[in-house]
């Protein structure tokens, strides 16, 4: 089976974006709309068993496969082709310069030669792929080529889980690239000076279950990345301690409610204050380690971005405009989509949306 690592064309077939995060399976299917944009056909979210995915690695293949199967059934589609992604930390990427006009076979030889110099594994242990980005700024006789390499077991575990759920992986992307593809749709909602959002600096803050990732973006360039161990699991643990319940009971309560009377003041608000402090610290690291001294907008993504009041608390702490990510804001919606639920789920669907966009690759 041909598994592409973030690069090759999935041939415009119907495709489901399948995101395996540390706490949930998320799926998105898009189609082209008559107006020339995108239409959201369907999406679904299914919780993973506790500990099924640890630090981006699949620890419970059967549990993940079962959750994928349930999520796909809830999705209600006949499409079995899926685009998946590896955690960013599991993929080594590097840009190299090669002469223009090389045939594919010649380029593969050059790429393997370069890869041998910086990948700390033998080539037999990795999946290696590359993409020609385009001519270099300095010479029309050279091209920039992006190399991506990952240990084979990371790819094989994800493929095995999808195949166990009777799905067919055709693309293996990188989570950060998928999120940035979806972010392009979010950025269009912020026209900026003279209608040009490329001149603005965005801080994309992904608050997941176990980690918070902050990516600063200007134009189509990532200018800063930082990851820290702070996420929604901290809130779950606070609830476990406060209410004497299990981890699973606390997660279910977070999703369904109703919450105890003291939850908002004694549990949620302190957690949000700590989260806002972590975001503020990440921005200070960004300012002190780069040429930048401000950001124009903070965009919140990830499952914990769904917590009530999070945008207001982060804005108050950082004194920066804060918005929840919604890559579907300008899409047409199929009759199966409930806009109210989509609005609250959208920030957690960035990677799945970016993967679903792979259907439209040229």
d(CA 212, CA 68): 24
CATH topology of domain 191-325: Nucleotidyltransferase; domain 5 (3.30.420)
d(CA 84, CA 357): 12
Q: What is the pLDDT of residue 362?
A: 56
Residue 333 structure tokens = 């919606």
Q: What is the pLDDT of residue 322?
A: 96
Contact criterion met (CB below 8 Å) for 210 and 231: yes
Handedness of CA 50, 55, 60, 62 (dihedral sign): positive
In which band, very low, low, confident or very high, does the pLDDT at 196 lie, cut at 50, 70 and 90?
A: low
Compute CA 117 distance to the chain's CA centroid, rounded to the nearest angstrom: 29
d(CA 251, CA 265): 19
Q: What is the pLDDT of residue 12?
A: 54
Mean pLDDT, residues 177-196: 82
Taking 80 as the threshold, does the pLDDT of residue 195 lie above it?
no
Total residue count of the chain as it appears in this document = 362
Mean pLDDT of the chain: 89
Express each pLDDT in 132-167 by its tens digit: 888 888 888 889 888 888 888 889 999 999 999 999
Express each pLDDT in 34-60 by its tens digit: 777 899 999 999 999 988 998 888 999
CATH superfamily of the domain spanning 1-89+156-189+326-362: ATPase, nucleotide binding domain (3.30.420.40)
Express each pLDDT in 287-313 by its tens digit: 999 999 999 999 999 989 989 999 999
Whole-angstrom CA distances from 197 to 5, 330, 342 are 29, 16, 25
Residue 48 structure tokens = 């993973």
Candidates 318, 309, 310, 88; CA nearest to 215 is: 88
β-bridge mates for residue 168, sequence order: 81
For the chain, what are the domain ranges?
1-89+156-189+326-362, 90-152, 191-325
In which band, very low, low, confident or very high, does the pLDDT at 197 lie, cut at 50, 70 and 90?
A: low
d(CA 320, CA 73): 41
Q: If you write DSSP's letter for every residue of 90-125 in order, what string do you get?
A: GEEEEEEEEETT--HHHHHHHHHHHHHHH-SS-GGG
Express each pLDDT in 68-82 by its tens digit: 999 999 999 999 999
Q: Domain 90-152 is in which class?
A: alpha beta
Q: What is the pLDDT of residue 21?
A: 92
Express each pLDDT in 225-274 by its tens digit: 999 889 999 999 999 999 999 988 888 888 778 899 999 999 999 999 99
Crossing angle, helix 61-75 and helix 152-164, to 10 degrees?
50
Taking 60 as the threshold, does the pLDDT of residue 3 lie above it?
no
- What does the H/E/C string look like for 318-337? HCCEEEECCCCCCCEECCCC
Range with top average pLDDT, 5-9, 182-186, 191-195, 196-200: 182-186
In which band, very low, low, confident or very high, does the pLDDT at 7 lie, cut at 50, 70 and 90?
A: very low
In which band, very low, low, confident or very high, does the pLDDT at 126 lie, cut at 50, 70 and 90?
A: confident
Q: Do 1-89+156-189+326-362 and 191-325 fold alike per CATH?
A: yes
d(CA 339, CA 318): 30
In which band, very low, low, confident or very high, does the pLDDT at 277 lie, cut at 50, 70 and 90?
A: very high
Q: What is the pLDDT of residue 4?
A: 46
Q: What is the pLDDT of residue 141?
A: 86
For 162-305, list the strands marked E by DSSP: 168-174, 201-207, 212-218, 221-228, 297-301
Q: Which of 186-195, 243-252, 339-348 has the lowest mean pLDDT?
A: 186-195
Express each pLDDT in 88-121 by its tens digit: 888 888 888 888 888 888 888 888 888 888 777 7
Residue 53 structure tokens = 């995915």
Q: What is the pLDDT of residue 107?
A: 87
Mean pLDDT, residues 214-221: 90
For 156-211, list the strands marked E by DSSP: 168-174, 201-207
Helix count and strand count (H, E) for the chain: 10, 17
Candidates 165, 127, 175; CA nearest to 20 is: 175
């Amino acid at each position: 089976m041909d598994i592409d690592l973030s690069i090759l064309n999935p041939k415009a077939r119907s495709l489901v974006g399948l995101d395996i995060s540390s706490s949930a399976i998320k799926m998105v299917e898009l189609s082209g709309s008559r107006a020339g944009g995108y239409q959201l056909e369907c999406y679904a979210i299914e919780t993973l068993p506790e500990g099924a995915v640890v630090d981006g690695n699949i620890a419970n293949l059967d549990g993940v496969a079962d959750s994928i199967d349930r999520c796909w059934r809830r999705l209600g589609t006949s499409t079995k082709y899926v685009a998946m992604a590896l955690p960013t930390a599991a993929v080594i990427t590097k840009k190299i310069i090669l002469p223009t006009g090389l045939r594919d076979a010649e380029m593969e030889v050059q790429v393997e030669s370069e890869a041998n110099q910086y990948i700390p594994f033998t080539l037999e242990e990795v999946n290696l792929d590359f993409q020609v980005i385009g001519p270099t700024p300095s010479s029309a006789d050279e091209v920039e080529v992006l190399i991506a390499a990952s240990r084979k077991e990371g790819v094989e575990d994800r493929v095995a889980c999808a195949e166990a759920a009777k799905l067919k992986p055709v693309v293996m992307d990188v989570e950060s690239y998928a999120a940035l593809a979806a972010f392009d749709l979010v950025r269009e909602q912020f026209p900026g000076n003279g209608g040009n959002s490329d001149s603005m600096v965005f801080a994309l803050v992904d608050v997941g279950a176990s980690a918070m990732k902050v990516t600063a973006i200007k134009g189509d360039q990532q200018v800063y990345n930082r990851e820290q161990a702070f996420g929604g699991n901290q809130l779950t643990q606070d609830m476990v301690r406060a209410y004497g319940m299990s981890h699973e009971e606390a997660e279910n309560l977070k999703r369904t409610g109703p919450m105890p009377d003291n939850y908002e003041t004694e549990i949620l608000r302190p957690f949000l204050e700590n989260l806002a402090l972590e975001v503020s610290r990440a921005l200070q690291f960004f300012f002190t380690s780069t040429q930048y001294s401000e950001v124009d907008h903070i965009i919140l993504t990830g499952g914990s971005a769904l917590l009530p009041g999070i945008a207001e608390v982060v804005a108050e702490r950082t004194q920066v405009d804060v918005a929840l990510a919604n890559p579907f804001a300008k899409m047409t919606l199929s009759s199966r989509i409930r806009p109210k639920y989509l609005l609250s789920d959208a920030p957690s669907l960035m990677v799945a949306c970016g993967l679903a966009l792979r259907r439209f690759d040229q």
